[in-house]
């Protein structure tokens, strides 16, 4: 017999179906709650609320499990390419050799930007944060590809928008960076791989040969995979809610980029490196810094997670990769030693143990990005490029399922009705 949940309100009993996910996750389906009872639920920060059914990513925060379409993150990060994982997320299955080739060719063919987009970069002061430029430029794609705002576009047209976005986001990121430095923009080289082409556009020069370091390419590939999806996090929920109003893919992703920018979300990777550098510059001991965290004077950035309460499997992979990459590149960054000391101190301290606070994906990723030669304000841009296929997959899933517009309720706590007071009578 299928399970039911009983809610008793004002002495009356109401039954609600219990639904079970494919990994045994249980939920009470309260779709009819308000109709039947007049009540709504209140769950600030959505700590207990499932916003959708999704077949893309499975995450068990207690056991530290993360899988894309059933495949463990550890296997994907060590064996797959970022485009392979993107295909998996967006279309549901790992591609065959020919499917992957076609996907790659289609993407690389669309990597150029409309020349006029350069004027958008010129319009920003060189001090502009690249995340603001990124979201603005992605929004602007609706103007260059007006078909993307047609909510009746067929699947083929939507797929072209998906391919264009995958293709153009790295070019937007690289060009806005080059523009901010007054350096010549590097046109994409479609013959290169996705990560290779991005590095070429970021660090190449028109009058010099460019040599790709396989260690750097591999590191970027791994980081992009680790960031590729994370089910209903803040930016993905933003993408889905904007998409639920039938806004275009470009508009929905631009909104996701803005959400990701926040320091409690993807913006944490920049905050972590700035925190580590500040600790180094000020000479404060890690013990004293931890003491400041415990009195809540500062937050230990890169620590804690809404869903991981044991360990973040992405952080485990990144920590190991960080050691490897710095060794291979011959980089000796004191920030890494400080990060390890902080982690050690935190993991044995009751404040962190009781609150189940562990290093998250952002704790060590910034150290790698820095070793790859990236400026700290670009770290969250890297996160956005990595997260793009996940956002797209989630937007597509919502569209295919014809999900209704996202529109939460509230519990109103303001004034009850009162009469307008003319301005001369106000005190």
Q: Which residues bind ligand CMC (CB under 6 A)?
A: 45, 230, 233, 264-266, 268, 293, 299-306, 355, 357, 360-362
Smallest gap from Cβ 386 to ligand CMC, in A, equals 11
Smallest gap from Cβ 223 to ligand CMC, in A, equals 13
Smallest gap from Cβ 404 to ligand CMC, in A, equals 26
Closest CB to ligand CMC among residues 141, 378: 378
Please tell me what DSSP assigns to residue 303: B
Annotation marks residue 29 as catalytic: no
Annotation marks residue 10 as catalytic: no
Closest CB to ligand CMC among residues 263, 406: 263
User: What's the token pair of residue 202?
Assistant: 């970021």
376-387 residues labelled b (16+ CB within 10 A) or e (exposed): bbbbbbbbbbbb
| 80 in Cβ contact with 67 (< 8 Å) | no
| 393 in Cβ contact with 343 (< 8 Å) | no
Helices of type H across 92-154: 97-109, 117-123, 130-144
Smallest gap from Cβ 67 to ligand CMC, in A, equals 16
Smallest gap from Cβ 192 to ligand CMC, in A, equals 29
Smallest gap from Cβ 291 to ligand CMC, in A, equals 12
DSSP β-bridge partners for residue 59: 66
Closest CB to ligand CMC among residues 111, 380: 380
Catalytic residue among 110, 227, 230, 305: 305
Please tell me what DSSP assigns to residue 48: S
Closest CB to ligand CMC among residues 110, 305: 305
Nearest C-alpha neighbor of 142 from the set 122, 121, 114: 114
Alpha carbons within 13 angstroms on the beta-carbon side of residue 39 total 11
CA-to-CA distance for 82 and 89, rounded, in angstroms? 10
Closest CB to ligand CMC among residues 194, 364: 364
Closest CB to ligand CMC among residues 293, 374: 293
Smallest gap from Cβ 357 to ligand CMC, in A, equals 5
Please tell me what DSSP assigns to residue 22: T
Please tell me what DSSP assigns to residue 285: -
Closest CB to ligand CMC among residues 32, 287: 287
CA-to-CA distance for 199 and 392, rounded, in angstroms? 23
Closest CB to ligand CMC among residues 40, 353: 353
Task: Calculate Rg over the CA atoms of the chain.
Answer: 24
CA-to-CA distance for 8 and 27, rounded, in angstroms? 18
Smallest gap from Cβ 130 to ligand CMC, in A, equals 18
CA-to-CA distance for 137 and 117, rounded, in angstroms? 7
Residues 6+ apart with CB under 8 A from 100: 81, 83, 84, 87
Q: Which residue is nearest to ligand CMC (CB)?
A: 304
Nearest C-alpha neighbor of 346 from the set 302, 314, 297: 302
State how far the alpha carbon of 45 is from the alpha carbons of 49, 234, 309, in Å.
Answer: 9, 10, 17
| 49 in Cβ contact with 349 (< 8 Å) | no
Catalytic residue among 362, 377, 400, 419: 362
| 185 in Cβ contact with 175 (< 8 Å) | yes
Maximum CA pair distance of the chain?
80
Active site residues: 305, 362
């Amino acid at each position: 017999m299928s399970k039911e949940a009983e809610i008793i309100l004002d002495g009356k009993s109401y039954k609600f179906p219990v639904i079970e996910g494919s990994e045994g996750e249980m939920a009470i389906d309260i779709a009819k709650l308000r109709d039947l009872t007049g009540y709504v639920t209140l769950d600030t920060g959505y700590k207990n609320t499932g916003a959708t059914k999704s077949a893309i990513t499975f995450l068990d925060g207690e056991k530290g499990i993360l899988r894309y379409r059933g495949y463990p993150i550890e296997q994907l990060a060590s064996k797959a390419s970022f485009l392979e994982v993107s295909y998996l997320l967006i279309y549901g299955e790992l591609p065959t050799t020919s499917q992957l080739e076609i996907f790659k060719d289609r993407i690389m063919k669309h990597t150029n930007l409309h020349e006029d987009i350069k004027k958008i970069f010129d319009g920003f002061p060189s001090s502009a944060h690249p995340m603001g430029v990124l979201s603005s430029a992605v929004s602007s794609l609706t103007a260059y590809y007006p078909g993307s705002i047609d909510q009746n576009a067929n699947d083929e047209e939507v797929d072209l928008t998906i391919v264009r976005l995958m293709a153009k986001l790295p070019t937007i990121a690289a060009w806005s960076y080059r523009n901010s430095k007054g350096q010549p923009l590097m046109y994409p080289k479609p013959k290169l791989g996705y990560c290779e082409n991005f590095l070429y556009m970021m660090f190449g020069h028109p009058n010099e040969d460019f040599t790709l370091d396989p260690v750097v390419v591999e590191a970027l590939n791994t980081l992009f995979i680790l960031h590729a999806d994370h089910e209903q996090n803040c930016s993905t929920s933003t993408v889905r809610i904007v998409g639920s109003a039938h806004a275009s893919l470009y508009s929905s992703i631009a909104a996701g980029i803005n959400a990701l920018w926040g320091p409690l979300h993807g913006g944490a990777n920049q905050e972590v490196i700035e925190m580590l550098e500040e600790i180094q510059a000020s000479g404060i001991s890690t013990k004293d810094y931890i003491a400041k965290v415990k009195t809540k004077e500062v937050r230990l950035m890169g620590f804690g997670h809404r869903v991981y309460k044991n360990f973040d499997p992405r952080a485990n992979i990144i920590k190991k990769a960080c050691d490897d990459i710095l060794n291979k590149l011959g980089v000796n960054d004191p920030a890494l030693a400080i990060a390890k000391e902080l982690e050690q101190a935190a993991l044995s301290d009751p404040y962190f143990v009781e609150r189940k606070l562990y290093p998250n994906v952002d704790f060590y990723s910034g150290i790698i990005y820095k070793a790859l030669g990236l400026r700290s304000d670009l770290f969250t841009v890297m996160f956005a490029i990595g997260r793009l296929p996940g956002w797209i997959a989630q937007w597509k899933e919502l569209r295919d399922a014809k999900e209704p517009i996202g529109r939460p309720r509230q519990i109103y706590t303001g004034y009850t009705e009162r009469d307008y007071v003319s301005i001369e009578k106000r005190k």
